[in-house]
Amino acid sequence: MSLKDVRNSIGKTLYRGIGRANGRIQSHRSLPVDILEDETSYLVVFDAPGAEPDDVQVRYLEGNVRIRIERFRQFRDRYEMRFPGRGMTLGGEAELPSDAIVDPDAGTATITETGTLNVEIPKDRSPDATGSSDATEEKPQTDVPASDG
């Protein structure tokens, strides 16, 4: 083995290590999110690059919208992995305003072709939600299935 081969081997090992570290950091950092509101609903928008509908879990828990994305690397013929830098497990969380009264069971989640996850949660307009003291009790957890958008 020549000095050049040793140098190349060390370089390749370091390069892959940096890629794996970058992927781990992505897995622990929350995805960017926007929260929008109109008269009838809240729209929570996450960046969800490379996600497919089956990869996404959306949950509503105590005023928070939480997502988890388990995406996969597509294997490509003729190519060798040189830099595995994308995290495969991504997550995010968005807290709705403290006075938000919503109907999480009626929520929808869609993924756009550009990698944006839109979670729309309608406001609860039932008589109990606007006037009763029971309205502040939120449903503990609701799963919202993701679909193509």
Mean pLDDT lowest among 32-36, 69-73, 81-85: 81-85
DSSP 73: P
Q: Does domain 3-72+85-148 have CATH number 2.60.40.790?
A: yes
Report which residue type is found at 95. Answer: E
* Average pLDDT of the residues of the chain: 78
| 138: three-class secondary structure by DSSP | coil
Whether this prediction's pTM lies above 0.85 is answered by no
List the structure tokens of 148: 């193509």
Say what percent of the chain tops pLDDT 70.
Answer: 66
Task: Give the model's pLDDT for residue 37.
Answer: 97
List the structure tokens of 50: 């490379």
| Helices assigned H by DSSP within 29-140 | 127-131
